Amino acid sequence: MKVAFIGLGNMGLPMSKNLVKANYEVYGLNRSKGREQLFAEAGGKTGYSLPELARIADVMMTCLPFPADVEEVFLGSDGIVANGHAGQILIDFSTVSPDLNHKIEKEAAKKGIEFLDAPVSGGNFGAESGTLSIMVGGKKEVFHKVYPLFEVLGKQIYHTGPVGSGTIIKLINQYMVGVHTQAASEAFIIGEKMGIDGPLMFDILNASYAQSRIFERHYTNFIAQNQFQAGFALKLLFKDLTLVQKMAEDNDINLPIGKPITSLFQQAKESSHGDKDMSAMVLYVKELQK
């Protein structure tokens, strides 16, 4: 089985490397070529164009940053669907909108190509350790066909229903990640301004009802280390919150803190923290203090 993986970023590189380790024949493609070099060093195949890969691969996987990238890679004139073939299976791990999932599914179906939306959670650590949560929307029989590939990448693998359903659950997850990130950032600043020792506060809150995986992740790996190199970039969380807002508005769902949270992440992104990890929201909240 030939597998192509498009988008070798923080998530895609470790995911595709795990497939190589599991002895699959994996072809990698990335916009910046340094990432392809890292993939080649891990035993992956590189040097093919997107149309070439779409012609030869049995399974095409993507893990791309923004909806516009996903739309171009799948539906562009040099893209996957234009060059793909009947019986092929497309799996998109990116976080986009359910509407875009449906659009790709519809175009793919015209050529007898199957599509699954398969957003992931667990961060780059989960991608490296092969312990991601994967939420998969699409036909159940197609899901079962590629299940062995999912097993290499994740530990909690769910078939969630029709195409788009994996994305809906992922966007709900991202909404909570945004809210928890904001809560953790503001909590940390309250403690700091009131003269409470950071590690002491973390230990107590981490053993109390304020505990969350996000609070633990942000504090332990970023705030306590005073380093904010992106595992998951703040600008990508802003993108996800924008997608949640749009889904809510299109479906008459009133999210009382949806708009303010999205606007805060937009401001943080625009004030030079966009490429940093999402935990850098704490730096932005700090800047808002007198």
98 lies in the site for ligand NAD, by CB under 6 A: no
Residue matched to tokens 């932005």: 284
Stretch that binds ligand NAD, among 1-9, 81-89, 218-226, 252-260 (CB under 6 A): 1-9
CA distance 204 to 258: 29
The single-letter code of the amino acid at 220 is: T
Q: How far is CA 148 from the centre of its chain?
A: 21
Query: Would you say 228 and 248 are in contact if contact means Cβ atoms under 8 Å apart?
Result: no
How many chain residues bind ligand NAD (CB under 6 A)? 27
Residue 246 is a catalytic residue: no
Under rule CB under 6 A, residue 51 binds ligand NAD: no
User: Is residue 63 close enough to count as binding ligand NAD by CB under 6 A?
Assistant: yes
- Tokens of residue 253, six digits: 């769902």
Site for ligand NAD (CB under 6 A): which residue of 3, 4, 5, 10? 10
Beta-strand relationship, 114-117 and 89-92: parallel
Residue 9's SS3 state is: coil
Residue with Cβ nearer ligand NAD (7 or 178):
7
User: Across-strand partners of 62?
Assistant: 6, 92
Contacts of 229 (CB under 8 A, 6+ apart): 276, 277
At closest approach, how far in Å is the CB of 117 from ligand NAD?
11
Does 275 bind ligand NAD (CB under 6 A)? Our answer is no
- CB-nearer residue toward ligand NAD: 77 or 289: 77
| Residue placing its CB nearer to ligand NAD in the complex, 71 or 186 | 71
12 binds ligand NAD (CB under 6 A): yes
State the alpha helices, DSSP H only, in 76-195: 80-83, 98-109, 123-129, 140-145, 147-153, 165-193
Which of 18, 30, 97, 101 touches ligand NAD (CB under 6 A)? 30
> Counting contacts by CB under 6 A, is residue 171 touching ligand NAD?
no
Taking the least distance from each CB to ligand NAD, the nearer of 94 and 185 is: 94
Could you say which of 170, 239, 269, 276 is catalytic?
170
CA atoms within 13 A on the CB side of 89: 21
Distance between CA atoms of 34 and 244, rounded to whole angstroms? Answer: 32
Exactly one of 46, 121, 131, 267 binds ligand NAD (CB under 6 A); that residue is 121
8 binds ligand NAD (CB under 6 A): yes
Does residue 95 touch ligand NAD according to CB under 6 A?
yes
Rounded Cα–Cα distance for residues 73 and 81 (Å) = 9
Catalytic residues: 170
The site for ligand NAD (CB under 6 A) is made up of 6-12, 29-32, 35, 63-65, 69, 72-73, 94-95, 120-121, 123-124, 231-232, 236
